[in-house]
């Protein structure tokens, strides 16, 4: 059987190493590769897949596109408005989102304290999943800091669908405060300005979903605080994808061993 990760850019992805390590650990003769697919190109990619294909992992900028293409979607994918996982069943695509439960698991692996509120930096599909994960952990207030309010529209819609109906504030990345128990950054390395990092210093827990290049400026500033890394998130969400694709329990430690050491 064949699986792959799709996105643009994609050359940096560690997903092939993780999934291949998992297959080897359980004795599956499956393949998992990376394919560069630009925005708008997902439909053309899936239309030519043959019956040997089982699953697709989706990264930027395909997560919302993946949900739109699927015949069925899990409750969490519908809640997030985005799919990072497509299961291929016959001629149909089933959408799922392992980012939300993966983020919950990743954060709890590094921090067991209260999460009453938090700030998410960025407003894309990953930001929506991270904000929902904070809600799942008990956050009653979410602050979204974005370059422009329009970037937060889909994330706002996702949070409005959450049964906890958190209080949501939209602010500017340029100068608004970072508040709460956790700050989650979905921003690339180059967007983490010195001033923004300084505004994050009073938040007790840092969660940076980026893992290449590492460390990010935000991660480097968190030496004295709990730090949840992009590797933590990648491992936890990939383990859930592995289970969706194969129907087997994920060999988490074998998959963890395939990650580069920071």
Closest C-alpha to 17, from 248, 242, 194, 181? 242
**pLDDT number for residue 74:** 98
pLDDT of residue 236: 98
The overall average pLDDT reported for the chain is 96
Mean pLDDT of 108-114: 97
- Separation between Cα atoms, residue 172 and residue 164, nearest integer Å: 24
pTM over 0.85: yes
The Cα 64–Cα 39 span in angstroms is: 10
Q: Which CATH architecture has domain 112-225?
A: 3-Layer(aba) Sandwich (3.40)
Pick the more confident residue, 12 or 246. 246
20/228 Cα distance (integer angstroms): 24
Q: What is the pLDDT of residues 178-217, one digit of tens each?
A: 999 999 999 999 999 999 999 999 999 999 999 888 999 9
Q: Mapping DSSP to helix (H, G, I), strand (E, B) and coil, where does residue 171 land?
A: strand
Q: Which residue has the tokens 């980026």?
A: 210
How many Å apart are CA 1 and CA 245, to the nearest integer?
A: 10
**Domains of the chain, residue spans:** 2-97+234-257, 112-225
pLDDT at 262: 67
Residue 237 has which token pair?
């969400």
**Which residue in this structure is represented by tokens 């899936």?**
46
- Per cent of the chain over pLDDT 90 is 92
Residues of the chain with pLDDT > 70: what percent? Answer: 100
Report the CATH fold assignment for 2-97+234-257: Rossmann fold (3.40.50)
Query: Which residue numbers are catalytic?
Result: 63
Q: Around Cβ 224, how many Cβ atoms within 10 Å? A: 7
Residue range 114-135, pLDDT digits in tens: 999 999 999 988 899 999 999 9
The residues near 6 (Cβ < 8 Å, ≥ 6 apart) are 34, 35, 36, 37, 42, 45, 56, 57, 58, 59, 62
Find the mean pLDDT for residues 14-18: 97
- Residue 149: what pLDDT? 85
With 80 as the cut, is the pLDDT of residue 230 above it?
Answer: yes
pLDDT at position 35: 98
Do 2-97+234-257 and 112-225 show the same overall fold?
Answer: yes
């Amino acid at each position: 059987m064949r699986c792959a990760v799709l996105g643009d850019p994609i050359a940096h992805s560690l997903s092939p190493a993780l999934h291949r390590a998992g297959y080897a650990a359980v004795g599956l003769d499956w393949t998992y590769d990376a394919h560069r697919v630009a925005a708008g190109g997902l439909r053309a990619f899936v239309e030519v897949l043959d019956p040997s294909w089982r699953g697709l992992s989706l990264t930027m900028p395909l997560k919302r596109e993946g949900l739109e293409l699927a015949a069925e979607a899990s409750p969490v994918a519908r809640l997030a408005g985005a799919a990072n996982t497509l299961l291929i069943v016959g001629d149909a695509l089933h959408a799922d989102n392992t980012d939300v439960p993966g983020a919950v698991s990743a954060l709890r692996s590094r921090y067991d304290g209260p999460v009453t509120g938090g700030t998410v930096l960025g407003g894309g599909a990953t930001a929506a999943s991270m904000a929902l994960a904070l809600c799942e952990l008990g956050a009653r207030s979410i602050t979204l800091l974005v370059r422009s309010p329009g970037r937060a529209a889909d994330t706002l819609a996702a949070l409005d669908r959450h049964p906890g109906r958190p209080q949501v504030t939209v602010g500017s990345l340029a100068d608004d405060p970072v508040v709460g128990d956790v700050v989650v950054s979905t921003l690339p390395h180059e967007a983490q300005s010195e001033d923004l990092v300084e505004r994050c210093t009073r938040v007790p827990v840092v969660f940076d979903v980026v893992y290449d290049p590492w460390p990010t400026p935000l991660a480097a500033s968190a030496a004295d605080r709990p730090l949840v890394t992009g590797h933590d998130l990648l491992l936890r969400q990939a383990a859930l994808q592995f289970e969706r694709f194969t129907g087997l329990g994920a060999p988490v430690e074998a998959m963890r061993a395939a990650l580069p050491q920071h």
